[in-house]
Copies of this chain bind each other. A is one copy, B any other.
Amino acid sequence: MLGNFTYCNPTKLFFGKGALKEMRGELAKYGKNVLLVYGKGSVKRSGIYDEVVAMLKECGKEIYEDAGVMPNPTTEKLAEGCERARAANADLILAVGGGSVCDYAKAVSVSAYCGEDPWEKFFIRFEEPSGKIIPVGCVLTMVGTGSEMNGGSVITNHAQKLKIGHVFGEEVFPKFSVLDPEYTFTLPAYQMVAGFYDIMSHILEQYLSGTDDNTSDYIMEGLMRSLVHSSRIAVKNPLDYEARSNIMWTATWALNTLVAMGKDTDWEVHMLGQAVGAHTDATHGMTLAAVAPAYYRLIMPYGLHQFRRFAVNVWDVPTKGKTDEEIAEAGICAMEKWMKEIGLVMRLRDLGVTEDMLGGIAKSTLVMTGGYKVLTQEDIMQVLRESL
């Protein structure tokens, strides 16, 4: 049954080829100091950096740089960003990059003036922002996280071997995001397909949980069918605008809060994947892909109805003469087949995990309570061993 909820998503999106030009109107709404946040330099090689800087200058902005955001942004980098934001007296943080850069920009936006250790405040104690929040805008260059239209931010603490996300409220959502599918064309195939599974995982974390038969489930089935369809085209031809644009749009709606409204959600695959990430620095989407099948087989008996539905409505598994268990298993097999087809990493060993690391990863894995089964430490070890 749909539970009670409040829905509000104020982020303005500019979508399509050449959409960057629409950002002009937005820039006019903020003061002149812009903290330009980006990663390791791919935006310079692709020319996107030059386009953005040219527009900022045209609009009379003072540009302050914060480069070098890593794929799994760290507490150390966050501290540096806060200092830069304060030194610039930033009126706007403009993130140019993928989900990590957007996540990081949001973390800086709430942390720069929070007056204490942001790791402790937001990622350990899960408190809400209290001080000034610097507005954030995004120019997206990699698809998957949905960070361009939500309040999520994931930060990694290497000393504590923890990678933890905080979902902030709408006051932290990006004010605007530019989504130009062509900006994702230069992304290496490995990152592209990792993003595809990140999208699938976002949907599954919200779909494979609860006992509902509600509108969100139907919307998610549509999103998954669209993703499977377009991803098969994109891996063959990464320059297929139609496929890449539909995937970009699917990714946004997979994790901008809509499909979670009124329903239970799980997120245990993300907890497992984030623990792997904290120990290996592996690409996020790949960590999810490596642990998902074993996890789903473990919890399947506890949510059989929904796994059966997943098989039939997303993967067109024929039902005639089969038990519910057989149908559900065939759905997971169909997903695995698709995962291999698009080139995902299916084993933890291929992400640098060795058997002796499993105990540590298990210890770093947060246990969620919204799914079909609350995992024991033994369950977690079983999933990790089977995923190795």
A residues in contact (CB < 8 Å) with B: 1-19, 22, 181, 213-223, 225-226, 229-230, 241-242, 245-246, 249-250, 253, 258, 261-262
Contacts and interface: CB of A to CB of B under 8 A. Distances in A.
A233 to B, nearest CB: 10
B10 A8 contact: yes
Given A214-B226, A246-B214, A246-B215, A6 B2 contact: no
B249 A262 contact: yes
Among A5, A241, A262, the most chain B Cβ lie within 10 Å of the Cβ of: A5
A11 B7 CA distance: 8
Q: Which of A11, A16, A220 counts the most B-chain CB atoms under 10 A from its CB?
A: A16
Contact of A7 (B8, B15, B215, B229): B15
Contacts of A4: 15-19
Contacts of A214: 226, 242, 245-246, 249
- Among A15, A181, A217, A219, chain B packs the most CB atoms within 10 A around the CB of A219
Given A8-B10, A215-B230, 12 more contacts: A2-B181, A3-B16, A4-B17, A4-B18, A15-B262, A215-B249, A215-B253, A218-B225, A218-B229, A249-B261, A249-B262, A253-B258
Contacts of A217: 226
Contacts of A19: 4
B3 A7 contact: no
B229 A222 contact: no
A342 to B, nearest CB: 17
A226 B12 CA distance: 28
A223 B213 contact: no
B229 A223 contact: no
Contacts of A15: 2, 4-7, 261-262
A9 B223 CA distance: 20
A5 B249 CA distance: 11
A242 B213 CA distance: 9
Contacts of A8: 10-13
A381 to B, nearest CB: 37
A27 to B, nearest CB: 15
A215 B250 contact: yes
A199 to B, nearest CB: 11
Contacts of A261: 15, 249
A12 B7 contact: yes
A281 B9 CA distance: 36
A262 B214 CA distance: 26
Nearest to A11: B8
27 contacts: A1-B242, A2-B15, A4-B16, A4-B18, A5-B15, A6-B13, A6-B14, A6-B15, A6-B22, A7-B12, A7-B13, A8-B11, A9-B9, A213-B229, A214-B242, A214-B245, A215-B222, A215-B223, A215-B230, A216-B249, A217-B226, A219-B219, A219-B222, A221-B222, A221-B225, A245-B262, A253-B258
